[in-house]
Amino acid sequence: MGRDRPEARAPLEGRLTETGTLVQAETMAVLDPDLLLRAYAIGVFPMADSRDATDVFWVEPRRRAIIPLDAFHLSRSLRRTLRSGLFAVTCDTAFADVVIRCAERKETWINASIQESFTHLHRLGHAHSIECWKEGELVGGLYGVKLGAAFFGESMFSLRTDASKVALAWLVARLKVGGFRLLDCQFMTEHLKSLGAIEITQKVYVSMLSGALSSSGAGAGGGPEFGALERLLGADSSRTVDSAASGCVIAQLLGQTS
């Protein structure tokens, strides 16, 4: 979710083999979903230099930002916002729109290839979004990739104060309820740090990733379950829930405030 400083990158001119090497293929095509999932499974992800870039790169950060799911920093002000129901929150109702909003920044790593590739991954059930709405307008959200008991946060946006923070709070609560073990934020930013993100070495990250991918999780169905939160709230992820009541539950799930 934080991508301010790409490191250790190589041109994405091919398909990953089991060992992570590259073989030649056409650039700027929609990336094969199997390629993307195997890339995340070994700790790398794609980026572009700009919205109009024609190249895509594999990136493997030397240091990785993660948010420990039991250490999300819920400030008193964010807790109040959650409990107030200021935003209506949904899941997977506007994935393509969330990606487009994330790509509309002045500086972005999301080009057409990445946009289309992740939208396709979403259609296959491997990528998800959290949306925040205000009076029917999409004002914040995030998206990422689910693999095993790991969730890889790709990007977030906010058009209203605290909208992206609320989306992230709902994501963390969803992952906790669903039995996930790893929330990867990729690169550290001050925004993520304020919400509890920490930096770890690539070696430690790969070990945590391996554990998350081999984990059976603790979801109600016996494995990691992205939709488990809906059962807890008694809601359908595709519709707006009672925002204030649900926000109180999210705040409780996230624990202590400061």
Q: Tell me the pLDDT tens digit for each residue of 117-167.
A: 999 999 999 999 999 999 999 999 999 999 999 999 999 999 999 999 999
N-term to C-term CA, the chain:
24
115 & 126 share domain: yes
pLDDT mean over 83-112: 95
192 & 70 share domain: yes
Q: Percentage of the chain surpassing pLDDT 90?
A: 74
Q: Under 8 Å CB-to-CB from 60, ≥6 apart: which residues?
A: 7, 8, 9, 43, 44, 202
Domain assignment present for 215: yes
**Average pLDDT of the chain to the nearest whole number:** 86
pLDDT at 257: 47
198: pLDDT strictly greater than 90 = yes
- Least confident range of 58-62, 217-221, 249-253: 217-221
Q: Tell me the pLDDT tens digit for each residue of 112-129.
A: 999 999 999 999 999 999
Determine phi and psi for 66, rounding to 5 degrees.
Answer: -135, 160
End residue of a domain, out of 38, 62, 86:
62
Q: Which domain holds residue 107?
A: 65-254
Domain assignment present for 206: yes
